[in-house]
């Protein structure tokens, strides 16, 4: 084997964020940049000779080039086999499914998730361990430390491998196996949901529209909704993955999925709408002219899990990220199961799922999933909803409103201020942190601040501690405001303000969230001095 050891300088900026390393494509295209990070991964995980790796990405610009580089590095670093998605493409949940199904040593996923793609867009890379989930902080920290001192990397000199046809090729003694991950994933979904019931629903006068946003879920949606569930072809849109996602922002929310939103709020709207993001792990759920808040979606899935085949035995427990609303807590209480509160990012759910302490997890950021894989899973959530709809035969809006009647409504919204100057954004957070003691006891109309804290989390399984995971301002009536700096952006800083008010009064369940939260929004701006410090007076995105 023609292994070359290439000398290179270390980079100081390869600190993984909430979900791996994300940078502009141009940063990844610098000589040795990708290679340094990949070698840092291999050096940190101590690859057993002959191990199998899973490899794939969301198909964005630079995916193919990166896959070829990583294959040649895997061969030089002692891997015996690599499972690659056809054309180098794997959705994030499908990658997790492949790692688990074929028991590979781990996997490398190339994605910047919901961030725009293309030459001027973003690229990303992350390592998942053999449980199929994102590497825990202990490993990501080790990779980062390594990346700062690394001096060379190993790669073989060989021609590119063909990746478009299913089958096996040899790369200097290492097997490259191109797999049909769509089939593996569809099979897993069929084992969890009642496809016959959903088929019946889809052959009635019920109409759905799924938007893949020109991203990775297109082929999966075609196989599942059209080929296996028999939905008419107009049930899916934007299902051919493009390297630049058609110039769009593949983030399934009311702002960026506007094409679908116009359809669902328009004339002749379908009964059900859904969208997924760049790498297929997020989901947005809509009914005819109705938006389901992701936190409510998680609660509703938990409350109805038992009626779905794969969860008929009941769920062990639930977990939500700290900024996610407490709607699922109410359900956990009534089911008498544990409910965990973790920091933002899917990696914190893995240990709990591995220990069978939780079955369902979710984040307010359009992420929902279960222990069937170790990533959040967009199409899984869509199928869960379809399965519930197939059984209940009520509208999405009816289902949500009946849920609120039973459990109360956690009125919720997130306001994002994107691309802020770094110093101003840090200033806002510092200002709040320094003012905690003055804030406690302060009243603003009917709201009084009870406590403030900087969220830190101790993993109950491995004892690891994660600090500074968001600032919480808690009010005496259970309402709260959370401030957090994003860890996935690639330009400037993003402040997220999460607003939540519990509303037991059923007469107020029809209120628009922005109206119901108007006072809270003003309090958030006042105590953070956000306008004065950043010069911004309106959020970039409201969800
Ligand atoms: C955001 C979300 C977070 C999510 C992360 C990765 O992180 O808020 O909930 O886990 O994106 O999502 P941040 O640090 O920007 O707030 V994605 O779909 O990678 O996969
Ligand atoms: Co994603």
Tokens 């914190």 found at: 348
Indicate if the pLDDT at residue 455 is higher than 90. yes
Q: Which residues contact 352 (CB under 8 A, 6 or more apart)?
A: 317, 319, 340, 342, 358, 361, 460, 461
Ligand 1 within 6 A of CB of 418:
no
Indicate if the pLDDT at residue 222 is higher than 90. yes
Lowest mean pLDDT across 289-303, 346-360, 503-517 = 503-517
Q: For the residues of 416-450, what is the DSSP string, one character each?
A: EEEEE-HHHHHHHHHHHHHTHHHHTT-EETTEEEE
Rounded distance from Cα 279 to ligand 2 centre (Å): 5
Predicted local confidence at residue 509, as pLDDT: 75
| Interval 303-359: pLDDT, tens | 999 999 999 999 999 999 999 999 999 999 999 999 999 999 998 999 999 999 999
Average pLDDT over residues 415-429: 94
| Interval 5-56: pLDDT, tens | 998 888 988 988 888 899 999 999 999 999 999 999 999 998 899 999 999 9
| Interval 145-188: pLDDT, tens | 999 999 999 999 999 999 999 999 999 999 999 999 999 999 99
Q: What is the mean pLDDT of the chain?
A: 95
| Interval 399-408: pLDDT, tens | 999 999 999 9
| 273 close to 207: Cβ distance less than 8 angstroms | no
> What is the number of other CB atoms lying within 10 angstroms of the CB of residue 408?
17
Percent of the chain with pLDDT over 90: 89
Predicted local confidence at residue 394, as pLDDT: 97
Same fold, 184-407 and 409-542: no
Shortest-distance atom of ligand 1 to CA 489:
15
Residue of 17, 18, 94, 216 with the most ligand 1 atoms within 8 Å of its CB, for mutation: 18
Atom 6, ligand 1: residue with shortest CA distance? 19
Predicted local confidence at residue 479, as pLDDT: 93
| 69 close to 171: Cβ distance less than 8 angstroms | no
Predicted local confidence at residue 273, as pLDDT: 98
Indicate if the pLDDT at residue 506 is higher than 90. no
Atom 1, ligand 1: residue with shortest CA distance? 488
Average pLDDT over residues 52-64: 97
Indicate if the pLDDT at residue 504 is higher than 80. no
Shortest-distance atom of ligand 1 to CA 124:
19
H/E run at residue 121: none
- Segments making up each domain of the chain, as ranges: 3-179, 184-407, 409-542
CA 465-468-469 angle, 5° bins: 85
Torsion 169-175-181-184 (CA) sign: positive
Predicted local confidence at residue 358, as pLDDT: 98
Predicted local confidence at residue 176, as pLDDT: 98
Predicted local confidence at residue 480, as pLDDT: 96
Taking the CA of 277 as reference, the closest ligand is: 2
Helix (H, G, I), strand (E, B) or coil at 514: helix
| 148 close to 61: Cβ distance less than 8 angstroms | no
H/E run at residue 471: strand 471-475
Taking the CA of 488 as reference, the closest ligand is: 1
Residue of 19, 113, 466, 486 with catalytic role: 113
Work out the pLDDT band at 473, boundaries 50, 70, 90. very high
Predicted local confidence at residue 19, as pLDDT: 81
40-to-14, 52, 183, 322 alpha-carbon distances in Å: 10, 18, 32, 31
Average pLDDT over residues 524-534: 95
| Interval 196-209: pLDDT, tens | 999 999 999 999 99
Predicted local confidence at residue 491, as pLDDT: 80
Atom 16, ligand 1: residue with shortest CA distance? 486
Average pLDDT over residues 496-512: 85
Average pLDDT over residues 431-450: 93
Ligand 1 within 6 A of CB of 113:
yes
How far apart CA 274 and CA 537 sit, in angstroms, is 31
| 534 close to 485: Cβ distance less than 8 angstroms | no
Atom 11, ligand 1: residue with shortest CA distance? 488
Predicted local confidence at residue 46, as pLDDT: 87
Ligand 1 within 6 A of CB of 320:
no
Helix (H, G, I), strand (E, B) or coil at 392: helix
Rounded distance from Cα 507 to ligand 2 centre (Å): 36
Q: Is 113 a known active-site residue?
A: yes
Start-end of H helices in 294-448? 294-304, 327-335, 350-354, 378-392, 396-407, 422-434, 436-439
Taking the CA of 213 as reference, the closest ligand is: 2
- Helix, strand, coil shares of the chain, percent, nearest 5, are 35, 25, 35
Average pLDDT over residues 429-458: 94
Rounded distance from Cα 62 to ligand 2 centre (Å): 17
Rounded distance from Cα 277 to ligand 2 centre (Å): 6
Q: What is the CATH number of domain 184-407?
A: 3.40.120.10
Q: Which of 299, 268, 279, 288 is nearest to 384 (CA)?
A: 299
> What is the number of other CB atoms lying within 10 angstroms of the CB of residue 12?
9
460-to-341, 488, 516 alpha-carbon distances in Å: 11, 26, 36
Ligand 1 within 6 A of CB of 281:
yes
CA 456-111-259 angle, 5° bins: 100
| Interval 107-134: pLDDT, tens | 999 999 999 999 999 999 999 999 999 9
How far apart CA 103 and CA 485 sit, in angstroms, is 35
Ligand 1 within 6 A of CB of 371:
no
Q: What is the CATH number of domain 409-542?
A: 3.30.310.50
Lowest mean pLDDT across 15-19, 251-255, 290-294, 449-453 = 15-19
Atom 20, ligand 1: residue with shortest CA distance? 113
Predicted local confidence at residue 8, as pLDDT: 85
Ligand 1 within 6 A of CB of 137:
no
Ligand 1 within 6 A of CB of 295:
no
CATH 2.60.40.1080 assigned to domain 3-179? The reply is no
Looking from the CA of 534 toward its CB, the CA atoms found within 13 Å total 29
How far apart CA 415 and CA 253 sit, in angstroms, is 12
């Amino acid at each position: 084997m023609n292994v070359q050891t290439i000398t290179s300088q270390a980079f100081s900026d390869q600190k993984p964020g909430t979900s791996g390393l994300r940078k502009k494509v141009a940063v990844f295209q610098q000589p040795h940049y990708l290679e340094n990070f990949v070698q840092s991964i291999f050096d940190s995980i101590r690859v057993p000779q002959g191990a199998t790796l899973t490899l794939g990405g969301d198909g964005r610009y630079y995916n193919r080039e990166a896959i070829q580089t990583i294959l040649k590095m895997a061969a030089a670093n002692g891997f015996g086999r690599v499972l690659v998605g056809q054309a180098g493409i794997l959705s994030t949940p499908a990658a997790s499914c492949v790692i688990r199904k074929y028991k590979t040593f781990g996997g490398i996923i190339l994605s910047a998730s919901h961030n725009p793609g293309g030459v001027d867009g973003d690229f990303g890379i992350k390592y998942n361990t053999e449980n199929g989930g994102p590497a825990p902080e202990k490993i990501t920290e080790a990779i980062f430390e390594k990346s700062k001192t690394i001096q060379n990397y190993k790669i073989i000199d060989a021609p590119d491998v063909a990746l478009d046809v299913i089958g096996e090729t040899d790369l200097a003694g290492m097997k490259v196996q191109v797999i049909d991950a769509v089939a593996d994933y569809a099979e897993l979904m069929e084992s969890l949901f009642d496809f016959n019931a959903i088929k019946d629903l889809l052959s009635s006068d019920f109409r759905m529209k799924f938007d893949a946003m020109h991203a990775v879920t297109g082929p999966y949606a075609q196989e599942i909704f059209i080929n296996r569930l028999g939905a008419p072809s107009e049930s899916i849109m934007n299902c051919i993955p493009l390297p630049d996602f058609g110039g769009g922002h593949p983030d399934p929310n009311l702002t960026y999925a506007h094409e679908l939103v116009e359809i669902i709020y328009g004339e002749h709207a379908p009964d059900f709408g859904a969208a997924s993001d760049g790498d297929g792990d997020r989901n947005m759920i809509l009914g005819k002219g109705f938006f389901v808040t992701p936190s409510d979606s998680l609660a509703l899935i938990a409350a109805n899990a038992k009626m779905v085949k794969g969860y008929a035995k009941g769920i062990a427990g639930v977990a939500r990220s700290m900024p996610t609303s407490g709607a699922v807590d109410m359900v956990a209480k009534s089911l008498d199961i544990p409910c965990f509160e973790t920091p933002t990012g899917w990696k914190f759910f893995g240990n709990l799922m591995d220990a069978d302490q939780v079955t369902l997890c979710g984040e307010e950021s359009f992420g929902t999933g279960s222990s069937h894989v170790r990533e959040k899973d967009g199409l899984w959530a869509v199928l869960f909803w379809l399965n519930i709809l197939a059984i209940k035969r009520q509208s999405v809006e009816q289902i949500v409103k009946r849920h609120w009647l039973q459990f109360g409504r956690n009125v919720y919204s997130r306001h994002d201020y994107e691309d802020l100057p770094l110093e101003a954004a840090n200033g806002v957070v510092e200002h709040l942190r320094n003012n905690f003691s003055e804030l406690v006891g302060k009243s603003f109309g009917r709201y009084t601040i009870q406590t403030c804290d900087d969220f830190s989390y101790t993993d109950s399984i491995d004892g690891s501690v994660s600090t500074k995971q968001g600032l919480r301002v808690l009010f005496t009536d259970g309402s709260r405001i959370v401030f957090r700096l994003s860890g996935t952006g690639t330009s400037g800083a993003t402040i997220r303000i999460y607003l939540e008010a519990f509303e037991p009064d059923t007469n107020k369940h029809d209120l628009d969230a922005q109206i119901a939260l108007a006072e809270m929004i003003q309090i958030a701006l006042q105590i953070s001095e956000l306008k004065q410090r950043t010069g911004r007076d309106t959020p970039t995105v409201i969800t």
